[in-house]
Amino acid sequence: MSILVLGGAGYIGSHTVYELIDEGMEVVIADNLETGYAAAVHPKAKFYQGDIRNREFIDSVFDNEKIEAVIHFAANSLVGESMTNPLKYYDNNMCGTKVLLESMVAHGIDKIVFSSTAATYGEPESIPILETDNTKPTNTYGETKLSMEKMFYWVSRAHGLRYVSLRYFNACGAHVSGQIGEAHNPETHLIPLILKVPNGQRENITIFGDDYDTKDGTCVRDYIHVTDLAQAHILAVKYLMNGGASDIFNLGNGVGFTVKEVIETARKVTGHPIPAVTVERRAGDPAKLIASSEKAVKVLGWKPQFADLEKIIESAWKWHSTHPNGYNK
Ligand code: UFG
């Protein structure tokens, strides 16, 4: 029996595949390679190139392979783009999931782990954020992820499927081997953008606002290493295999760092002065996002290994300094 990883050539998907294979599991990947990279596909995984919106394609994967559970990363995930092109997010994220679920139900596949996001909460009502807090997304990306969670809920009630939804906070870092890492085009995330400065690809990093109500005026985020996220997916698959009920879990370190602290840590790790320039706030950025992941720790037995921001940035730097253009030569 295999685990099917949809979007296994993307950032978090590829790191999860590496961990699954390290655990001795059989892995099948399906990815349309729109935002993923063939070079990120683990050589021991079986790979199908195709789109989950294509029913024939996804049916053929389930017909050809013996799939025990699905891990679903196949979605668009850029907040800014989701605001200028919302229908792209409804089409890929929601229609893709609808077709996937139709095919899973038809094939009797009843376990799915889903890649969700802190963006489902919107502006937090309190810190740290709990899974039971209000969900009022402030962007289309978060809205579609929340709708996908609800789709799982109603389909699970009707068809007996079980799901685990994992709401990530700020995914970052790279595999310790330095073989795979973060590669978005365009890049919008803080840590890879900071590291473009010591890589000679940017003159400085821009800080989006220093007048927030935080200790140094810059936004606070909960940075969580991609390998820790990957481990949580494996625990979630095992939880479902052991008969666990459908549930939702936050994944973060429970510690917040300001943008200035992240830049300062990157200076220490790279030995580069990394000039920073403060500009206007970016629309839609909440001042503070910090997770309570106690539920994942308690129920799934999750233990993040990379609690230290310096270690996280070291792993990211190992990847970016050796792959300044990501997977492109
Ligand atoms: N930032 C800068 N300068 C930059 C880039 C980012 O100051 O050049 C700041 C942002 O304003 C924010 C922080 O750095 O305060 C982190 O920004 P990212 O873009 O790296 O991440 P976000 O917190 O905006 O987004 C992350 C995930 C999203 C998810 C969201 C949940 O990347 O997928 O958390 O709210 F939706």
Task: Say what the pLDDT of residue 207 is.
Answer: 98
Probe ligand 1: pick from 138, 140, 188, 190, max atoms within 8 Å of CB? 190
pTM recorded for the entire structure: 0.97
Residue 81 CA to ligand 1 centre (angstroms): 13
Task: Say what the pLDDT of residue 101 is.
Answer: 98
Query: Ligand 1: which residue has its CA nearest to atom 16?
Result: 190
Residue 169 CA to ligand 1 centre (angstroms): 10
Task: Say what the pLDDT of residue 257 is.
Answer: 98
Residue 189 CA to ligand 1 centre (angstroms): 6
Is 141 known to be catalytic? yes
Q: How many CB atoms lie within 10 A of CB 288?
A: 18
Probe ligand 1: pick from 143, 282, 288, 309, max atoms within 8 Å of CB? 282
> What's the chain look like in SS3?
CEEEEECCCCHHHHHHHHHHHHCCCEEEEEECCCCCCHHHCCCCCEEEECCCCCHHHHHHHHHHCCEEEEEECCCCCCHHHHHHCHHHHHHHHHHHHHHHHHHHHHHCCCEEEEEEEHHHCECCCCCCECCCCCCECCCHHHHHHHHHHHHHHHHHHHHCCEEEEEEECEEECCCCCCCCCCCCCCCCCHHHHHHCCCCCCCCCEEEECCCCCCCCCCCEECEEEHHHHHHHHHHHHHHHHCCCCCEEEEECCCCCEEHHHHHHHHHHHHCCCCCEEEECCCCCCCCECCECCHHHHHHHCCCCCCCCHHHHHHHHHHHHHHCCCCCCC
Task: Say what the pLDDT of residue 111 is.
Answer: 98
Residue 27 CA to ligand 1 centre (angstroms): 31
Query: Ligand 1: which residue has its CA nearest to atom 4?
Result: 190
Ligand 1 within 6 A of CB of 289? yes
Mean pLDDT of successive 10-residue stretches along the chain, which has 329 residues: 98 98 98 97 98 98 98 95 95 98 98 97 96 96 98 97 98 96 94 98 98 97 98 98 98 97 98 98 92 98 95 98 93
Task: Say what the pLDDT of residue 329 is.
Answer: 75
Residue 26 CA to ligand 1 centre (angstroms): 34
Task: Say what the pLDDT of residue 171 is.
Answer: 98
Q: What torsion do the CA atoms of 142, 143, 144, 148 make, to the nearest 10 degrees?
A: 100
Ligand 1 within 6 A of CB of 77? yes
Task: Say what the pLDDT of residue 56 is.
Answer: 98
Q: How far apart are CA 206 and CA 204, in angstroms?
A: 7
Residue 244 CA to ligand 1 centre (angstroms): 33
Of ligand 1's atoms, which has the minimum distance to the CA of residue 189?
20
Contacting residues for 158 by C-beta, under 8 A, at least 6 apart: none
> What's 57-116 look like in SS3?
HHHHHHHHCCEEEEEECCCCCCHHHHHHCHHHHHHHHHHHHHHHHHHHHHHCCCEEEEEE
Query: Ligand 1: which residue has its CA nearest to atom 3?
Result: 207
Task: Say what the pLDDT of residue 39 is.
Answer: 97
Ligand 1 within 6 A of CB of 79? yes
Of ligand 1's atoms, which has the minimum distance to the CA of residue 289?
35
Candidate list 121, 141, 212, 239, residue with the active-site label: 141
